[in-house]
């Protein structure tokens, strides 16, 4: 019996009425078209020959309205199904996503009727569903806000409530991550215990993870990606027992991914696979630290669905997925063309015009995870910067940025992400981050900017929630991001509006915007976002933000110190009354420049610099003093939350400037070696290590709970003021 794609959406009311009436014509040859049809038949041919998108849509609508007055039958379905497909494509060419979806839904209804009553249309239905999924994603301009709390708990899974674990292949170049990925072939000539020992002796980050309560994904791949591979598992009792015992001995949470990507194999019996998974899971669950991961690929073999292989809630603790994107598969249409016909197939394989947005590729597996109340893991992902067509760096960087920016935002059930930081011998594709500085920079930047990924030693981080979930009064700064990716690779520009007034525009996903609520009056305000790119333009729903009356006050522990800093003229107007906000780069630069001028008694002459995102004089002064040089590409990122390691670097530059100006030596301890008491020094960026060491060794920057430096954490305004005061007293 052939597999059918589940039809999830509801057809239009008029068509539903016709179908549920249960009336079917006699054989096609018995159907007689109404006389009015033939003029439309000729008009259709003329519209297609003229390649007129508007004429095609108009004639398709007239034909649809006329024939839907009749009882549904094969002739009507055969007539309207291709017309709906053509009209949907024409609407997409015009940038009308609503129209494209409406016509696609109509096409699906006719194809479904033919599939159920005449002949196999399952392949067409698969393509229709894939394109619907992509277009609906493009139409849904969604705004998110970052909050300190709001994550979801998955009891017994080992997943963090707030924050996302992230890591990469053990043989890769990364460090400071909260998780690590290793591969083992099931039943190879070495034991799993051997591989665990080998990796722990060879790679420090793996040794750290397995001995200090880290998170380890073990990809236990079948020796043969087929039914035969699953059958091998069923006859390997002693090997399984010994392997699981070795994993169970680790002082780490083991995310055990068994026989991944089974939905993409050319030969795999689902019943045999499920039996093998259940066999391993039943024994693995004897060890509290081992969590079983059911992990398909994003795109299934067209003859199967992910659900067919699911082993059951009692056996799977996580649901994972492999997600790879490459621009090498161009698809039929890489730009919009009236004559294109294979767009449905392109949508299914996420190529051509449908290669710009990696998020729809995860929709099916995310739906499965939600249905079974399981955390979702990106078991491995990769974005190749080379391919058969040559250099693909620009595409890989774009995909990397979108994937890591959006994946735990659009899909909050994503609790772990692993990057395939390797190159496969003999393969055209290259994924290793060390081999491409642009991709490496995109990886680091997307993770840091997202702010919800957990670095080594962290167990909680802010989370992204849909803006409509932000209720109650909000104060300080509200960090926003927008999900909007249109078909094709045209640039998208997002503009934020507050009460109808344009406040900020961005042309780089995920379009971060720090909305300073202190600039808004008390009461309710409406936030909307418009996105435009190519022929497309969409607007988000309207969101309501409530701002309380009155300024913020310092916390009880900081009140006296902030007052002292005010008395010494160390508190600038830019940070007055926003003491509970996370301080931004602009605000901290303001404090740093003011500190220099107060201590030296000299005003800094602004540098002749030009940033694309700020013209503040204090920024030019900070550059002149060497306190900062911006973020690259002529940007300063004034509204970005500054990290603790960035603060250390800027304050070290302040010290150097003051000492040079006054001929003094402020710091008693000049050692740039990090104190061994800190547990997360590996997560400090190389460019910040010396400054962090100097500030911590001299007691100016203290650690956080758990003996952490927390270099990527942000800092409240009141904490920054206290730090400025402490340094002022050192001068």
Per residue in 323-381, pLDDT tens? Answer: 997 765 666 677 899 998 888 888 888 888 888 889 999 999 999 999 999 999 999 99
707 vs 705: which has the higher pLDDT: 707
Beta-carbon contacts of residue 567 (< 8 Å; ≥ 6 apart): none
Cα–Cα distance for residue pair 320/312, rounded to 1 Å: 14
21 vs 407: which has the higher pLDDT: 407
Q: Which sign does the torsion angle of CA 644, 646, 649, 652 carry? A: negative
Residue 19 has pLDDT above 60, yes or no: no
Residue 153 has pLDDT above 70, yes or no: yes
- Between vectors from CA 642 to CA 639 and to CA 647, what angle results, nearest 5°? 140
Please give the share of the chain, as a percent, with pLDDT higher than 90.
77
Which of 4-13, 25-34, 389-398 is predicted least confidently?
4-13
Residue 388 has pLDDT above 80, yes or no: no
Give residue 83's pLDDT: 97
pLDDT (tens digit per residue) in 662-681: 999 999 999 999 998 898 89
* pTM (predicted TM-score): 0.72
**Would you tell me how many other CB atoms lie within 10 Å of the CB of residue 660?**
11
SS3 169: strand
Instruction: Let me know if 625 is exposed, middle or buried by CB neighbors in 10 A (0-12, 13-18, 19+).
Output: buried
Q: Are domains 13-139 and 467-547 of this chain identical in fold?
A: no
Reported as a pLDDT band with limits 50, 70 and 90, residue 14 is very low
Residue range 607-630: average pLDDT? 91
Reported as a pLDDT band with limits 50, 70 and 90, residue 302 is confident
Cα–Cα distance for residue pair 103/87, rounded to 1 Å: 6
In CATH, 467-547 is 3.40.50.2300:
no
Please give the DSSP secondary-structure letter assigned to residue 348: H
Please give the DSSP secondary-structure letter assigned to residue 130: H
In CATH, 13-139 is 1.25.40:
yes
Residue 28 has pLDDT above 60, yes or no: no
The gap from C-alpha 328 to its chain's centroid, in whole angstroms, comes to 22
Residue range 469-488: average pLDDT? 91
- Of the candidates 518, 517, 649, 635, the one whose C-alpha atom is nearest the C-alpha of residue 573 is 518
Residue 22 has pLDDT above 60, yes or no: no
Q: Report yes or no: 584 and 477 within 8 Å, Cβ to Cβ.
A: yes
Give residue 355's pLDDT: 87
Beta strands in 8-82 (DSSP E): none
Give residue 17's pLDDT: 33
Cα–Cα distance for residue pair 632/637, rounded to 1 Å: 9
Residue 7 has pLDDT above 60, yes or no: no
Cα–Cα distance for residue pair 418/21, rounded to 1 Å: 51
Longest alpha-carbon distance in the chain: 102
Peptide bond into 510 cis (omega under 30): yes
Which stretches of 451-572 are DSSP H helices? 559-567
Q: How far is CA 699 from CA 529, 589, 668, 695, 703, in A?
A: 45, 21, 10, 6, 9
Residue 449 has pLDDT above 90, yes or no: yes
pLDDT (tens digit per residue) in 417-432: 999 999 888 888 999 9
In CATH, 164-451 is 3.40.190.10:
no
Q: Report yes or no: 421 and 168 within 8 Å, Cβ to Cβ.
A: yes
Residue 21 has pLDDT above 50, yes or no: no
Residue 62 φ then ψ, to 5°: -65, -40
Residue 15 has pLDDT above 70, yes or no: no
Domain definitions of the chain by residue range: 13-139, 164-451, 467-547, 559-730
Peptide bond into 419 cis (omega under 30): no
Reported as a pLDDT band with limits 50, 70 and 90, residue 503 is very high
First to last CA, the chain: 81
- Between vectors from CA 263 to CA 259 and to CA 268, what angle results, nearest 5°? 70
| Host H or E run for residue 395 | helix 393-410
Give residue 393's pLDDT: 93
Q: Report yes or no: 489 and 153 within 8 Å, Cβ to Cβ.
A: no
Please give the DSSP secondary-structure letter assigned to residue 178: S
pLDDT (tens digit per residue) in 40-94: 999 999 999 999 999 999 999 999 999 999 899 999 999 999 999 999 999 999 9
Summary mean pLDDT of the chain: 91
Reported as a pLDDT band with limits 50, 70 and 90, residue 414 is very high
Give residue 303's pLDDT: 85
- Between vectors from CA 160 to CA 159 and to CA 166, what angle results, nearest 5°? 80
Q: Report yes or no: 97 and 139 within 8 Å, Cβ to Cβ.
A: yes
Give residue 27's pLDDT: 42
Q: Which two tokens stand for residue 412?
A: 């909050």
């Amino acid at each position: 019996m052939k597999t059918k794609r589940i039809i999830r959406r509801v057809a239009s009311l008029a068509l539903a009425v016709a179908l549920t009436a249960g009336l079917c014509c006699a054989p096609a040859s018995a159907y007689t078209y109404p006389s009015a049809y033939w003029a439309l038949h000729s008009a259709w041919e003329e519209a297609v020959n003229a390649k007129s998108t508007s004429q095609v849509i108009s004639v398709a609508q007239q034909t649809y309205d006329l024939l839907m007055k009749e009882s549904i039958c094969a002739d009507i379905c055969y007539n309207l199904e291709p017309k709906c497909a053509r009209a949907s494509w024409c609407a997409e060419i015009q940038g009308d996503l609503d129209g494209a979806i409406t016509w696609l839904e109509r096409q699906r209804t006719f194809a479904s009727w033919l599939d159920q009553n005449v002949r196999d249309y399952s392949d067409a239905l698969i393509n229709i569903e894939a394109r619907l999924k992509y277009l609906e994603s493009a139409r849904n301009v969604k705004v998110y806000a970052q909050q300190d709390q709001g994550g979801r708990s998955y009891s017994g899974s080992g997943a963090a409530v707030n924050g996302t674990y992230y890591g990469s292949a053990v043989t890769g170049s990364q460090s400071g991550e909260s998780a690590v990925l290793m591969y083992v072939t099931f039943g190879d000539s070495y034991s799993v215990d051997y591989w665990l020992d080998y990796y722990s002796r060879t790679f420090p980050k793996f040794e750290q993870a397995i001995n200090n309560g880290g998170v380890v994904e073990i990809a236990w791949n079948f020796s043969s990606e087929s039914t035969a591979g699953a059958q091998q598992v069923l006859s390997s009792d002693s090997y399984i027992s010994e392997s699981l015992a070795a994993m169970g001995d680790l002082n780490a949470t083991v995310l055990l991914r068994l026989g991944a990507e089974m939905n993409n194999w050319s030969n795999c019996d689902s019943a045999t696979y499920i039996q093998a998974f259940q066999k391993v899971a039943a024994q693995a669950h004897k060890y509290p630290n081992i969590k079983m991961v059911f992990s398909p690929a994003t795109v299934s073999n067209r003859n199967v669905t992910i659900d067919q292989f699911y082993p059951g809630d009692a056996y799977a603790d996580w649901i994972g997925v492999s997600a790879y994107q490459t621009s090498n598969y161009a698809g039929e249409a890489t730009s919009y063309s009236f004559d294109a016909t294979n767009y449905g197939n392109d949508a299914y394989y996420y190529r051509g015009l449908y290669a710009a947005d990696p998020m729809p590729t995860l929709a099916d597996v995310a739906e499965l995870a939600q249905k079974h109340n399981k955390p979702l893991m990106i078991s491995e992902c990769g974005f190749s910067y080379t391919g058969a067509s040559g250099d693909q760096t620009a595409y890989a960087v774009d995909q990397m940025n979108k994937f890591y920016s959006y994946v735990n935002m659009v899909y909050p059930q994503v609790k772990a992400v692993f990057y395939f930081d390797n190159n496969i011998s003999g393969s055209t594709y290259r994924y290793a981050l060390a081999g491409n500085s642009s991709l490496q920079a995109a990886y680091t930047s997307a993770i840091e900017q997202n702010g919800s990924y957990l670095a080594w030693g962290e167990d909680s981080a802010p989370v992204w929630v849909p803006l409509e979930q932000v209720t109650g009064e909000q104060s300080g700064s509200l960090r926003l991001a927008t999900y909007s990716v249109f078909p094709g690779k045209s640039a998208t520009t997002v503009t934020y509006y507050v009460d109808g007034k344009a406040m900020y525009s961005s042309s780089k996903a995920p379009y971060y915007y720090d909305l300073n609520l202190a600039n808004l009056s008390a009461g309710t305000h409406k936030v909307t976002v418009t996105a435009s790119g190519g022929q497309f333009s969409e607007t988000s729903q309207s969101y309501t933000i409530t701002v309380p009356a009155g300024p913020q006050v310092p916390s009880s522990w900081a009140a006296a110190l902030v007052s002292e800093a005010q008395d010494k003229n160390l508190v600038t107007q830019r940070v007055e009354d926003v003491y509970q906000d996370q301080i931004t780069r602009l605000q901290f630069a303001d404090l740093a420049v003011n500190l220099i001028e107060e201590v030296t008694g000299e005003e800094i002459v602004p540098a002749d610099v030009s940033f694309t995102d700020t013209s503040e004089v204090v920024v030019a002064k900070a550059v002149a003093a060497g306190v900062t040089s911006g973020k690259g590409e002529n940007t300063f990122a004034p509204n970005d939350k500054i990290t603790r390691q960035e603060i250390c670097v800027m304050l070290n530059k302040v010290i150097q400037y003051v000492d040079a100006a006054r001929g003094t030596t402020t710091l008693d301890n000049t050692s740039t070696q990090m104190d061994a008491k800190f547990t997360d020094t590996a997560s400090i960026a190389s460019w910040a290590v010396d400054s962090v060491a100097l500030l911590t060794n001299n007691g100016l920057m203290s650690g956080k709970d758990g003996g952490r430096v927390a270099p990527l954490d942000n800092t409240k305004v009141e904490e920054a003021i206290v730090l400025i005061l402490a340094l002022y007293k050192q001068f």
